[in-house]
Chain A
Amino acid sequence: MHTDGNHIAGLLAEVFTGELTAAVRACETCGARRPVGAHRLYAGAGYVLRCPDCGDLAAVVYERGDGYALSLRGTWLIGRAP
């Protein structure tokens, strides 16, 4: 059972040192532009984030030693902090 991108808001804030769930991701497969918080999240040993419209891979994040491994797909539109 999946949840959504809100679930890893803390993890993303740690990796990016900023809030990321309101960022909009443009899917390179279906073209949908959806906030990261609205993406589907699958949790296992790490996290897999998928486009809510077409299911295409958006991100893979997992803990790795003293840091994280991160793979991103599509275009992430991240607002500048106010």
Chain B
Amino acid sequence: MAGAAVLGRLTWRVATIRDMREETARAKSLVLDVPDWPGHLAGQHVDVRLTAEDGYQAQRSYSIASAPEARGLELTIERIDDGEVSPYLVDEARPGDRFELRGPIGGYFVWHAGLDGPLGLIAGGSGLVPLMAMLRHRRAAEATNDARLLVSAPRFDDLLYRDELDGARITLTRQAPPGWDGFTRRIDAEMLQAIWPAPGARFYVCGPTPFVEEAARLLVGLGHEPAAVRTERFGPTGG
């Protein structure tokens, strides 16, 4: 499985949207049918390519949200207002529409249930997408290792996968609903220390670059091994 997911030349395939689900006001999950999909590992991404009638092409990378065990490949896409690809995928695309995709891609930011030991997941905004693939895979594989998730988002309504966040630690940095008993500040050493009191976890941190660098810096400062902290950043461009 691991071999099948990384071997072979990358080829563009035509994906057909089977189903769409609204995650937040700005994000949708697209369930895709992709003929001859070779399978993937949790944490990997795909490249999506849109071609206009005049031949102009725009290409972006999106993390895979579904577990390898799921039927259908699922991407969660957040609209970047001046983006070239995400406004189409979030607002215009409909079931039955098709676009080009290649993957799975990536071998560094991946986790599979064969890797034992505690799992530490830290997400900033839509950085939750590849981490949710890991949690969904962990559930499907019935892994029993300790897994803890910390999600940072501006507001409650910005949280992806709200139905699947039982047990997750959440911090809302701009506005919290009345009665909120989670964190209400940017991530800091005290917060990470409370969730991961001792080193030993394998960390995956995904989000915007400043968030990821701060989280990684804090983890190393708390005594976690730098090599145990895997990171994936996304920048201001894209969408």
The answer on a CB contact under 8 Å between A4 and B231 is yes
| A residues near B231, Cβ cutoff 8 Å | 4, 38
Given the complex of chains A and B, what is the CA–CA distance between A18 and B10 in angstroms? 8
Q: Chain B: residues with CB nearer than 8 A to chain A? A: 2-3, 6-7, 9-10, 45, 47, 61, 102-103, 105-109, 209, 230-237
The answer on a CB contact under 8 Å between A13 and B105 is yes
Main secondary structure of the interface of B (DSSP, over half): mixed
For this complex, into which size category does the number of interface residues on chain A fall?
A: 20 to 34
The answer on a CB contact under 8 Å between B237 and A6 is no
The answer on a CB contact under 8 Å between B236 and A9 is no
* A22 within 8 Å of B (CB atoms): yes
A50 to chain B, nearest CB (A): 13
B73 to chain A, nearest CB (A): 16
Given the complex of chains A and B, what is the CA–CA distance between A10 and B61 in angstroms? 9
Given the complex of chains A and B, what is the CA–CA distance between A52 and B62 in angstroms? 23
The answer on a CB contact under 8 Å between A43 and B235 is yes
Given A1-B209, A5-B108, 12 other A-B contacts at CB below 8 A?
A1-B236, A3-B209, A4-B233, A6-B45, A6-B109, A6-B232, A9-B106, A9-B108, A22-B108, A36-B108, A81-B6, A82-B6
A–B Cβ pairs within 8 angstroms, 13 of them: A1-B209, A2-B233, A5-B108, A7-B234, A9-B45, A10-B47, A10-B103, A19-B105, A19-B106, A37-B232, A38-B231, A81-B6, A82-B7
Given the complex of chains A and B, what is the CA–CA distance between A36 and B231 in angstroms? 11
Residue among A6, A17, A21, A36 with the most chain B CB within 10 A? A6
Q: Which of A1-33 contact B (CB under 8 A)?
A: 1-7, 9-10, 13-14, 17-22
The answer on a CB contact under 8 Å between A6 and B2 is no
A31 to chain B, nearest CB (A): 14
The answer on a CB contact under 8 Å between A18 and B235 is no
The answer on a CB contact under 8 Å between B3 and A81 is yes
Query: Given the known A-B contacts A3-B235, A9-B45, A81-B6, are A38 and B105 also in contact in the complex, defined by CB atoms under 8 Å?
Result: no
